[in-house]
Amino acid sequence: MLQAQICLVRHGETEWNRTGRIQGYADIPLNEHGLKQARAVANYLAEEAPWHQIYSSDLQRARVTAEQIAARLGISLAVEPRLRERNCGILEGKTREQVEQMFQGVDLKSIDWDRLPGVEHRSALRSRAVEVMTSLAKRHTGEKIIVVSHGAFIKCFLEAVANLSLKDVRLHNTSLNQLTFRLDHPPDGDGSWTVVYFNQANHLSVERNSS
């Protein structure tokens, strides 16, 4: 049986994270705290070495997080656009309060995002996430890799492969989600995913204590 170990990491904090603005495809940089988080998760992952490769979304908040990790671990970074966040269309740049005003006080969680202009349908995001993650896992059977992506992408992927319900779960910036991919019948089998843990953020307490 062939298997790959994948650590799926959410990017560090941005100002839009801090102020509660929906990001989507908007290319927002890390803020200073987000850079500290990226360095903290890099140090934490160094304790789990060796790692063989790191992949990142092309959006800079993920890419810069991945660059910090790659530099600390001494491994190469490959940018993969399919790892980018959900396209949030007309909601991008808006706060929860602004969205609820748009819909006359309807709670954000009650709005059907799939019906909104420019918003990537959740089923399309799920298919994209499973496709790219499975492709990377098959490419690295027998190895350990890191993938840096985004909150909605990660939650949608975990829901798809582990039958989890994460709608009301907030993923911490730079949280770690450890998975194992097993390929029973190479090279054409679908394989299976196991979630070892998710939304683990022990390194953030270390980062807070050192700041």
* Catalytically annotated residues: 11, 85
SS3 content of the chain, % helix, strand, coil (to 5): 45, 20, 35
CA separation for the pair 20, 14 (Å, rounded): 10
The number of helices, as runs of H, and strands, as runs of E, in the chain is: 7, 6
Q: Coil, helix or strand for 7?
A: strand
198 in Cβ contact with 33 (< 8 Å):
no
Residue 25: other Cβ atoms inside 10 A: 14
Please report the sign of the dihedral spanned by the C-alpha atoms of residue 69, residue 152, residue 141, residue 139: negative
DSSP assigned state of 138? H
